[in-house]
Chain A
Amino acid sequence: MKNRLPRPRIAFFDMAGCEGCQLAILDCEDIFLDLVDLVEIVQFREAMSETAPRYDIAFVEGSIHREIDADRLRDIRARSHRLVALGGCACHGNVQARANDWAPAENLQRVHGADTAHRVQTDGRYWPLWAHTRVRALHEVVEVDYLLRGCPVDRDEFLHLVKRLLAGSRPTFPAQPVCVECRRHGNECVFLQGETCLGQVTRGGCGAVCIGGGYRCDGCRGLLPDANLASHRQLLRERGLDAEAIDQRYRLFLSGEITDREGTDEQ
């Protein structure tokens, strides 16, 4: 009774991002062929080129910077039964959302020098890239059904989502901190090693790969809904980080989220 599940049409799209998440999915090569057996991939820039008008599941990678991208996303949404934000950029703006901390002209000046600042208004070559007002996550533009977090996404979570949707049930991504997976894997806590980590306030689901690999958590999967940021900020301070260093740590991946929250900045 193989393949008695209907083969859904799946498409991948990318907005502003590095396409690393699509690569992470192609990295499922050991089961990728079985997966292709279960689904019909109709658009996947990294892997094949075909187009189809309607999709059962659309995976969209990257954040929205330009209005034409927002329009493209609205079009994809209109043609998709389920829309999945693929990766940190699509879910919460990720690193790009740092740009929102300054006016577009300021960003331009920072990158291209003071003499270019005025061109954002006058020089067509800088349009439309610098004309945006805000880097947006997908859910700020359209309704998103599921979020696959991470920079890049976790292949097991991707498989979980696809399998659940294939089985006709809802995928679940528990809102639990990275610490849970560290403890389950028996990792030594980064703080015990005298370092600092964002694991306590970051959504897990990644298997704590960074800590398992000898690094720390920088928060790429986004803030937990009930993250105790006041306590975390105090902890980082106790461990010798000054206010600026703490902000740098939070703002690397979490700019898109942390600005929305009260009491997170230094009083």
Chain B
Amino acid sequence: MGSYLVERSVFIDWISRLARHEKVYFPLPVSKSSFRFSRVRSRSRLALEDFDDPRQAKPFRASACIPPPVRLLAPDNELLFTFRRDSAGDCHPTPVLDHNRRILAGVRPCDLKAIALMDRFQGDGIADPYYLARRGNTLLIGHDCLQPCDEYCFCEAAGSLSWRQGADIFLTPQPQARLLVEPLTDQGAALLADAGFPACSDVQACRARAAARRPTPFARQFKAPLARVMHAVAESWQSPVWERHAGRCFSCGTCNLVCPTCSCFDVRDDFNVEDPDSGRRTRHRDACMLEDFAEVAGGYNFRKSPAARQRHRVMRKFVYLPQRFGGTGFCVGCGRCGRQCTVAIDIFTIATDLLAGAGEAA
């Protein structure tokens, strides 16, 4: 598949043109410091990272995109089916699947990895038809990172920095306001076929140039390889670290709800006021840090304390899901949870403390 080397402004024009007849989503600012993947309109101002000026603020940061792009594939308040009760009292459900084609552009490597992990998660054995209907009709345009998002990011340590799998097209900033545009799938190549971008003669050199531009180390690092960190978390059931990080927790669920690999949900039924014999079943993003998440009908709560819930959240990312899905950590190091926790409970710090604890115990 041929790659292209194109001026950034030309590429941005192309995206804007594409958005006229496709549903294109791009991280657009919602405030001075935060972004949201929003539908690109004719007047949207799209900004991509500059190679030559590393001090320039990142145009959009993964950790600052609330919510993560994977939420476009598994939205809140998602309609599962409508139902109708006939005169005999029988209920007839009609599923509502979203097969709309959409393009997510400007997806950072950590979010690409999160989507790849959710592809595995949602397609494992029993597939979630709603996620897969959306995902099956979604194209991803990834965007490389030449500098860390902010002080919360730890994507290199989490093994996400070089992630490209899942992207249909991948963008890498190049000197002189140019962009390396690599199609990674047939669909990506087809989308670029008519763009008229100039071909890139030396893709390897372009990639190497960008890689060399990154600071080393890139963002925060664990004091041991990721595998050791995951092992330390796995062995930490009795650790006092959980209590230490739970004291200030509000159990507000923010860390779950902004996490790109949190996918737990709750289901609700509702009937229509205008016709009580019809209704809908929807699902909503749930959060295991919320007080009532593990409560059963009788009222018993299996994870009553914030520390127990914190432990479950971290274990799910570093231990439980990796065990199920080939060992890859489900924390992608995007830094969203740390950035958005108002009392700065940071999964990186928790993992670091657990690692330190494991070192002492050994």
Contacts and interface: CB of A to CB of B under 8 A. Distances in A.
Interface in B227-255: 247-254
Nearest to B31: A188
A3 B276 contact: yes
Contact of B273 (A159, A184, A185, A193): A159
B66 interface: yes
A191 interface: yes
A249 to B, nearest CB: 15
Contact of B254 (A2, A160, A189, A224): A189
A175 B273 contact: no
B119 interface: no
B273 A176 contact: no
A234 B342 contact: no
A2 B270 contact: no
A3 B32 CA distance: 51
A132 interface: no
B291 interface: yes
A179 B253 contact: yes
A115 B306 CA distance: 53
A31 B254 CA distance: 33
- Using C-beta atoms within 8 Å of the partner chain, give the interface range for chain A: 35 or more
Interface in B57-109: 66-67, 71, 76-77, 85, 87
Contacts of A228: 248-251, 306
Interface string A222-248: 001111100110110000000000000
A38 B273 contact: yes
B340 interface: yes
A174 interface: yes
A228 B246 CA distance: 11
A226 B36 contact: no
Given A179-B253, A188-B66, A200-B250, A163 B270 contact: yes
A159 B343 CA distance: 35
A143 to B, nearest CB: 20
A149 to B, nearest CB: 17
A235 B250 CA distance: 11
A174 B292 contact: yes
Interface string A1-32: 11111000000000000000000000000010
Given A38-B273, A38-B276, A166-B276, A183 B251 contact: no
Contacts of B257: 180, 183-184
Contacts of B151: none
B271 interface: yes
Tell me whether chain A's interface is mostly helix, strand or loop, or mixed.
helix
B277 interface: yes
Contacts of A166: 276
A191 B342 contact: yes
Interface residues of B, number: 41
B253 A231 contact: no
B274 interface: yes
Nearest to B257: A183
A188 B342 contact: no
A228 B285 CA distance: 23
Contacts of B33: 188, 192-193
A179 B254 contact: yes
Given A188-B66, A192-B33, A180 B252 contact: yes
Contacts of B273: 31, 34-35, 38, 159, 163
A256 interface: no
B267 interface: no
A192 B340 contact: yes
B287 interface: yes
A264 B254 CA distance: 23
Nearest to A200: B250
A186 interface: yes
A167 interface: yes
B30 interface: yes
Contacts of A231: 247-250, 343
Residue of A174, A192, A235 with highest tally of chain B CB at under 10 A: A192
B316 to A, nearest CB: 18
B284 interface: yes
Contacts of A254: none
B192 interface: no
Given A38-B276, A184-B284, A235-B343, A201 B250 contact: yes
B274 A34 contact: yes
Contacts of A224: 291
Contacts of A201: 250
A38 B342 CA distance: 44
B85 A188 contact: no
A62 interface: no
10 contacts: A3-B276, A176-B253, A183-B66, A183-B254, A186-B71, A193-B33, A199-B252, A228-B248, A228-B249, A231-B249
Given A1-B277, A186-B66, A191-B342, 7 more contacts: A160-B270, A179-B250, A180-B253, A188-B66, A192-B339, A200-B250, A225-B291
The 5 nearest A-B residue pairs measured at CB: A183-B257, A179-B252, A200-B250, A188-B34, A231-B248
Interface of A: 1-5, 31, 34-35, 38, 159-160, 163, 166-167, 174-177, 179-180, 182-189, 191-193, 199-201, 224-228, 231-232, 234-235
